[in-house]
Copies of this chain bind each other. A is one copy, B any other.
Amino acid sequence: MGHNTKINVGIFGASGYTGFEAVRLVKGHPAMRLCFATSESAAGKTLSDIYPVSWAIPLISAAEASLSEVEAVFCCLPHAASMPTVIAAREAGVRVIDLSADFRLTDVEVYRKWYQVPHQAPELLAEAVYGLTELNRTQISETDLLANPGCYPTSILLAVAPLLESDLLDPAAPMIADSKSGVSGAGRKPSLKTHFVEANENISPYNLGQSHRHVAEMVQVIELLGGDGGNLIFSPHLVPVSRGMLATVYVSLAKDVSSTTLHELFLDYYDDKPLVRVLPSGQVATMAHTQRTNLCVISVTPVNARQLILCASLDNLGKGAAGQAVQNFNIMFGLEEVAGLV
């Protein structure tokens, strides 16, 4: 650790939306010092050249980054591109919080199937911990390689985890997640899909059913929690907001459960988890509950004694990405879980 007890960190991939949000959080964090920020497309510029901020933080290419200066790095690179950087960081003894999908899946064949490339570091998978913070605190505190979850999985898994762990779900019924994501979730690289005129005044479903890559990590966690991953039906929708995510999740229960019992189950489950908030009975989570925060807000709405609707809201760049990354960093380094996040 540097003087004043600050921890030196680096950020790979700082020019994308997630990387930029990581910079924002690291800058404001009481116990981190930002040593470098990389960007291949903007190397040689500063962040103020590519975002409307005054932060004269230099962007360097990854090749110039000095791993020996830092104790930890945040990798905000695309999948596949992240692996070499993670390997190098781990070889240098640097702890890694990887925001890509590269270390989320424990099975290399599953990885190859969904991401269409072979895994380059199967040996590191053994030490990687899936950083859905509220489910894995102990493991997270001990790992040197944290695989930060996707935004869709974070919202959906936090919504269903209390039911899975209580073994309350009907094992024969589909678990349907109808998700709505703000456009920043699609990244900063221009495309027709993210063109203002195409996304504005529109709602677009895409990769419906079991075809979106995030299905893989959700299935993995659902099965770890004793559920049947094959029951998951996942429908992402692109919606005309800049930041925000809302999952509306429909589940069937294995037996009749009263609305009070269900609500208390959720309150108890998240009672000691400071970045998840369960709404009072009768309220419904909206995107506005969490925008520009690092929270996940969940509402529990029974339809009848066997059918339940869960709404989970988070900011796709906050609890859905950089916020959860910092939350995991805090746990890895023995800091207060919410340091720099509220």
Contacts and interface: CB of A to CB of B under 8 A. Distances in A.
B284 A204 contact: yes
A242 interface: yes
Interface residues of A, number: 61
Contacts of A194: 190, 195-197
Contacts of A334: none
Interface stretch (A117-125, A140-148, A301-309): A301-309
A252 B174 contact: yes
A52 B289 contact: yes
Contacts of A239: 180, 203, 239-240
Contact of A209 (B183, B277, B289, B302): B302
Contacts of A286: 52, 202-205
Nearest to A181: B203
Contact of A208 (B196, B242, B244, B303): B303
A200 interface: yes
Interface string A165-203: 000000001101010100110001011101111111111
Interface in A234-293: 235, 237, 239-244, 246, 248, 250, 252, 277, 284-289, 291-292
A68 interface: no
Quickly give the copy total for this chain.
4
A247 to B, nearest CB: 10
Given A195-B194, A195-B196, A197-B183, A203 B244 contact: yes
A287 B199 CA distance: 10
A203 B180 contact: yes
Given A54-B277, A178-B248, A235-B248, A196 B242 contact: yes
A216 to B, nearest CB: 16
B202 A287 contact: yes
Given A176-B176, A195-B188, A252-B174, A288 B235 contact: no
B240 A200 contact: yes
A287 B203 contact: yes
Contacts of A76: none
A201 B54 contact: no
Given A197-B17, A233-B250, A284 B241 contact: no
A206 interface: yes
12 contacts: A52-B286, A174-B250, A178-B248, A183-B200, A190-B191, A197-B243, A198-B288, A201-B243, A203-B287, A209-B302, A235-B248, A292-B292
Interface of A: 17, 52-54, 173-174, 176, 178, 180, 183-184, 188, 190-192, 194-206, 208-210, 233, 235, 237, 239-244, 246, 248, 250, 252, 277, 284-289, 291-292, 297, 301-304, 307, 309, 311
